[in-house]
Amino acid sequence: MIYTYLGPAGTFTEAALLQVPGARDAQRVPAANVNAALELVRTGKADAAMVPIENSVEGGVSATLDAIATGEALQIRAEALVSITFVLAVRQEIDSLEQIRSISTHGHAWAQCRGWAEANIPDAEFIPASSTAAGALALLDSETNHDAAICSPLVAEERGLKILREGIEDHEGAVTRFVLVSRPGAIPAPTGVDKSTVILPLAEDRPGALMEILEQFAVRGVNLSRIESRPTGAGLGKYFFSVDVDGHLAQERVADALAGLHRVCPDLRFLGSYPAAEGLSSSVDAHNSDSAFSAAHAWVTGLKEHLEH
Amino acid sequence: MIYTYLGPAGTFTEAALLQVPGARDAQRVPAANVNAALELVRTGKADAAMVPIENSVEGGVSATLDAIATGEALQIRAEALVSITFVLAVRQEIDSLEQIRSISTHGHAWAQCRGWAEANIPDAEFIPASSTAAGALALLDSETNHDAAICSPLVAEERGLKILREGIEDHEGAVTRFVLVSRPGAIPAPTGVDKSTVILPLAEDRPGALMEILEQFAVRGVNLSRIESRPTGAGLGKYFFSVDVDGHLAQERVADALAGLHRVCPDLRFLGSYPAAEGLSSSVDAHNSDSAFSAAHAWVTGLKEHLEH
Amino acid sequence: MIYTYLGPAGTFTEAALLQVPGARDAQRVPAANVNAALELVRTGKADAAMVPIENSVEGGVSATLDAIATGEALQIRAEALVSITFVLAVRQEIDSLEQIRSISTHGHAWAQCRGWAEANIPDAEFIPASSTAAGALALLDSETNHDAAICSPLVAEERGLKILREGIEDHEGAVTRFVLVSRPGAIPAPTGVDKSTVILPLAEDRPGALMEILEQFAVRGVNLSRIESRPTGAGLGKYFFSVDVDGHLAQERVADALAGLHRVCPDLRFLGSYPAAEGLSSSVDAHNSDSAFSAAHAWVTGLKEHLEH
Amino acid sequence: MIYTYLGPAGTFTEAALLQVPGARDAQRVPAANVNAALELVRTGKADAAMVPIENSVEGGVSATLDAIATGEALQIRAEALVSITFVLAVRQEIDSLEQIRSISTHGHAWAQCRGWAEANIPDAEFIPASSTAAGALALLDSETNHDAAICSPLVAEERGLKILREGIEDHEGAVTRFVLVSRPGAIPAPTGVDKSTVILPLAEDRPGALMEILEQFAVRGVNLSRIESRPTGAGLGKYFFSVDVDGHLAQERVADALAGLHRVCPDLRFLGSYPAAEGLSSSVDAHNSDSAFSAAHAWVTGLKEHLEH
């Protein structure tokens, strides 16, 4: 197996990938950005890509949401959660916060530590980096202009950076959710606690279109655990929705909801069913169970046997 | 073919039966009441029964609604509409309204002519009859106490009764809908303008239970043309619903709605699909057409082929 | 106070009226039918009328449902429940069931004892009476043709009729609900366990119209305890709905739902809020409580204070 | 009036601000980021801030969505649309695409031109800048490392940069929507084509919570023109929704929907009603018009006058 991931090495994304059984010993290829990672998968140069899809503080990761929603079909095979905590790494000659005049990190990390930075190093200039690891490793480079970097504990430890502060994130307990994406293939059998992801372009721009979609879920008791609107690029007000639901294609209520959605939203895209990382099982009413669907199907099939032609 | 119907001969029900192709030359057995007619069918002594189900003024016919909803399964094979108009038949010696001191007819007919009667013969006593025909034919009997009867034009003409007034119904244009009921058997192929009837006992006594049922229709674009609540007999507040929808079991949106209803209301009863008498076709949105259902089904089936076991 | 009721004396309706505090000592005027009773109220000849509206076996009482839904406005001021049980009264010379060749009662009573009659006196002819009391009292008349009558225990006892069987109703535990109707006036203050009745003509004949009505209740958490469709008389498929809801006009969720209904159904008719006879209190979610409505109203009013003109 | 905006000067945000009547001659203070701009407003150092909220390609601007949803209350007073088109500015010594080894711009601009860049300068390294203007102006600095920048036509022209290509955006017709934010105050009177913005934290984490919110809009015919889910920061799966609707607080259907939302979502935040930039008027059904609401309100008020206390 060849894995790719949103690099460089030492980011949270690599930490997510290392959760995948076997990934530690497999080939791991960092990619420059989400699109590059997915392109390696689409062209067969990698078997699967680990990319971030949602952060509990920053929200959906647009690049991923858009990249898996369009273009050549892909499939989500697994998800992984990584707790996000940041350290403040500094150049060797820096010993106190007062000395810091500039600080570099990725925009997302900056967003998650901005409160701390504004309170503790209010005069430091923010210098955007292409990744948290890039900003941190640049501290080892004598030509670097910035004094400090915000990065993951992993990269700081692995590269022996000088750490001035730990846990500087504004929201304790932040979590990022990552998805492992491959070319379409077999859908893993249900584990009992599964999720499914589906992309729903709004077929028509009219009142109630979103509610019509939600009703297809509601009428079968399918719970949404995530919904994100994204522009289609065709103009303001033209959206598609990226939705996670509790349940698996192998469960009739999910399959039946997908069939209903296909009617009102024929360009939908099914991105797969896969084990849920959270391990929570949502309860299913008896009338939405597989046996209720089977009984209903059998009953209607029985009725249809009496149809004259 | 042996037909039975809510008798006696000469009522509107026989007029409805005569609309059935071939019924004029078939054996027609009047029954004393709706239950008796349906019992002849259930025991095989008649092939089908014509019974009234709904009047445009008086509403649903409880005896029929209840009788076909419970007991041994029956099937509606056709419906028939009969315009309801009443004549005032009188004893030979009666020549003017002033002479009428008593008037007999069935309670339903009385309800439909009460306004006329109160305005024109306010002092006449109402004497309930077991049918309009019975009240009318009694005028030929010298021992009868009443002076007048309200009945159908058919029986008055066929039996040569003296008619003092015609068209005495309060609501011009009243129509009664009749259904032809048989033992369960083949369901006639769709004609393009069809109805289906279903009995829906409310599974649970809770807010929103009715709306949950209606949503199963709405989410597939199935239109209700009639809904009637009836007590189950188990106490106040315990209802079943008798529902007519536009469409045929052979149409996917109807079959899919029935499957959905079976889940939330497992004791439902399907009473058949049959040609609609009104000849109106309700339009179906593209996303509720058979082809939309087929495409959706094919798509989900395709997805399921990738399921691992 | 002058009360009228669906007579004659000795029927279940008088039993219902006697439940009203003070009615036992007030003037009680029997009326020939529901319309006559309501006409006495409308013309001021009576202060209130007790009429049946629903039976747990037979369903809604069409005459009442229609009469209070149309014509000059009326108001429901109270409801009463009466357990329905029937006795078999016979002529003095009758000593066994085998001797009975004919039996008289009102059609509704007949419907509720038909099973017993068919099993025990299958050959007896049914002779419809204008009321259970009328059929029973006729037994005291030597010119009467029928041998037996089905009537309430009350009339049998009060008039000293010979009783051959008791409790002959097919459905044990049957209950009839009666309403006390007056001209419009003060609405009694809420007791905590109240009902409201509203008449809803379907404004348009189109799919989803009923659901649109139900949503106005659902979105405020107002529970329906009764819903009955009745023809408007304008043709098959033209209905109004007679609806009881849990709650009182003085409760904001009910008042707000009524306002919402007025928009989608401007010809609606409010028939009053009154104490519920059953004494059951339906729970109300916090977000549908009066305080939630008050807080919401205050908040929006506060926002509107900032509107420029 | 003192205006602030997401700086630096020359970005699309300043172009949006210049659309505001009077802004061209007013004091305009660029801010380093969205939060800084809003802080100037909150502390009274500026009267209003122009910030981007949504791009037709990139989607919602998280910093703005979050900043106006939390913290001290703010109000949206206007919106502005700016067509987004990018030019490729280069150092004076660069004459062809082949010479470009590095290119700088803001991440959002990069996202919108990535396709062009990958096709035309595939080997150029991307160097993130804190703004498009910053990346562009750095070209004038001899110490700058990058050869090219992606920026707005405005800054390129104003500063006399060398332009190698125009219109390099991947999606022609991209538009960014900006909002003008002030401290809470008077709400501008309706123009006939208005929008309102509301923040809706999901009160409970349960199936159907989103649909419950949408129903409050649907039942009053209020159309959503934008819906965006954002994390509350309290953990994965905890969202608030940022919603734009067609209509104005002064319109009853909007005010009534807000009242309904307050009940199911008491922590909601109203961010104002303001003229819609697009100039499209959505049609309102008669039963959702102000007159329908007034009539309904008057009717219920009339009913309530009869309440006893």
Task: Categorise residue B251: left if φ over 0, alpha if ψ from -120 to 50, beta otherwise.
Answer: beta
Instruction: Check pLDDT > 80 for residue C13.
Output: yes
Report the amino acid identity of residue D161.
Answer: L
CB A83, CB A174: distance < 8 Å = yes
Helix (H) or strand (E) holding C153, with range, is helix C153-159
- Cβ contact (<8 Å) for D187 and C250? no
pLDDT per residue as tens digits for the range D189-202: 999 999 999 999 98
Tell me the shortest Cα–Cα distance from A91 to chain D, in angstroms. Answer: 21
Cβ distance C111 to B62 less than 8 Å, yes or no, reads: yes
3-state secondary structure chain A: CEEEEECCCCCHHHHHHCCCCCHHHCEEEEECCHHHHHHHHHCCCCCEEEEEEEECCCEECHHHHHHHHCCCCCEEEEEEEEECCCEEEECCCCCCHHHCCEEEECHHHHHHHHHHHHHHCCCCEEEECCCHHHHHHHHHCCCCCCCEEEECHHHHHHCCCEEEEECCCCCCCCEEEEEEEECCCCECCCCCCEEEEEEEECCCCCCCHHHHHHHHHHCCCCCEEEEEEEECCCCCCCEEEEEEEECCCCCHHHHHHHHHHHHHCCCCEEEEEEECCCCCCCCCCHHHCHHHHHHHHHHHHHHHCCECC
Nearest CA in chain B to A248: B307
- Residue A215 CB coordination number (10 Å): 19
C210 in reach of chain B (CB within 8 A):
yes
∠ at Cα A123 (A120, A128), nearest 5°?
A: 95
Q: Is B24 on the interface with A (CB under 8 A)?
A: no
Q: What is the pLDDT of residues B179-220, one digit of tens each?
A: 999 999 999 999 999 999 999 998 665 557 888 899 999 999
Tell me how close the Cα of B238 comes to any Cα of chain A, in angstroms. 20
Check CB contact of B287 with chain C, cutoff 8 Å. no
Q: How far is A259 from chain B (nearest CA, A)?
A: 5
**Residues in Cβ contact with D12 at an 8 Å cutoff, skipping those fewer than 6 apart:** D52, D82, D84, D132, D152, D154, D176, D178
Q: How many CA atoms lie within 13 A of B80 on its CB side?
A: 23
pLDDT of residue D146: 93
CB contact under 8 A, A129 and D129: no
Chain C CB contacts of B221 under 8 Å are 207
Contact C87, C152 (CB under 8 A): yes
pLDDT at A282 over 80: no
C91 CA to centre of own chain: 33
Q: What is the DSSP letter of C280?
A: -
Contact D231 A55 (CB under 8 A): yes
Q: Is A306 or A202 the better-scoring residue by pLDDT?
A: A306
Question: Rounded to a whole number, what is the distance in Å from the CA of A129 to chain D's nearest CA?
Answer: 6
CB contact A224 to D (< 8 Å): yes
Predicted confidence band at B284 (pLDDT cuts at 50, 70, 90)?
confident
Identify the closest residue of chain A to D107 by CA–CA distance.
A107
Is the pLDDT reported for residue B280 higher than 80?
no
**Which of D256, D288, D300 is most worth mutating to test chain C (most C CB atoms within 10 A of its CB)?**
D300
What single-letter DSSP state applies at residue C219? T
B250-264 pLDDT tens trace: 999 999 999 999 999
CB-based contact B186 A270, cutoff 8 Å: no
Which H or E run includes C292?
Answer: helix C290-304
Task: Give the residue among C162, C152, C155, C147 at the shortest CA–CA distance from C103.
Answer: C147
At C296, is the secondary structure helix, strand, or coil? Answer: helix
Contact B215/A216, CB-based, under 8 Å? Answer: no
Q: What is the DSSP string of D181-235?
A: EESS-PBPPP-SSEEEEEEEE-SS-STTHHHHHHHHHHTTTPPEEEEEEEE-SSS
Contacts of C299 in chain D (CB under 8 A): 258-259, 262
Q: Give the pLDDT band (50/70/90) at residue A172.
A: confident
- C63 touching B, CB under 8 A? yes
In this complex, whether A and B touch, counting 3 or more CB pairs under 8 angstroms, is yes
C259 contacts in D (CB within 8 Å)? 293, 296-297, 299-300
Question: According to the model, what pLDDT value does residue B111 have?
Answer: 85
Q: Which two tokens stand for residue D28?
A: 């305009």
Mean pLDDT of C79-88: 94
Q: Look at residues B78, B209, B288, B280 and name the one whose alpha carbon lies nearest to residue C205.
A: B280
- Chains touching C (at least 3 CB pairs under 8 A) are B, D
What domains are there in chain D, each with its CATH number? 1-84+172-185 (3.40.190.10), 87-166 (3.40.190.10), 187-304 (3.30.70.260)
Conformation bin of residue D152: beta by default, left when phi > 0, alpha when psi is -120 to 50: beta
Which pLDDT tens digit goes with each residue over B125-179? 999 898 899 999 999 988 888 999 999 998 998 889 999 999 999 988 889 999 9
Beta pairing, strands D239-246 & B102-105: unpaired
CA of A284, closest CA in chain B: separation in Å? 13
Size of interface A-B (CB pairs under 8 A): 105
ipTM, 2 decimals? 0.85
Contacts of A60 in chain D (CB under 8 A): 229
Interface test with A, best of B263, B294, B305 (most A CBs within 10 A): B263
Whole-number Å distance between alpha carbons of C133 and C156: 8
Which residues in chain B touch residue A189, judged by CB atoms under 8 angstroms apart?
307-309
Do the Cβ atoms of A269 and A198 come closer than 8 Å? yes
What pLDDT sits at residue D279? Answer: 67
Q: Which residues of B touch C278 (CB under 8 A)?
A: 236
At B63-87, the pLDDT tens digits run 999 999 999 999 999 999 999 899 9
- Characterise C7 by phi-psi region: left (phi > 0), alpha (psi -120 to 50), beta (else): beta
Can you give the pLDDT at residue B57?
A: 81
- Separation of alpha carbons A54 and A48, rounded Å: 18
Chain A closest-CA separation from residue B198 CA (Å): 12
Chain B interface test: which of C56, C206, C223 (most B C-beta within 10 Å):
C56
Which chain D positions have a beta carbon within 8 Å of A57's beta carbon? Answer: 231, 233
Note whether D126 contacts A130, CB cutoff 8 Å: yes
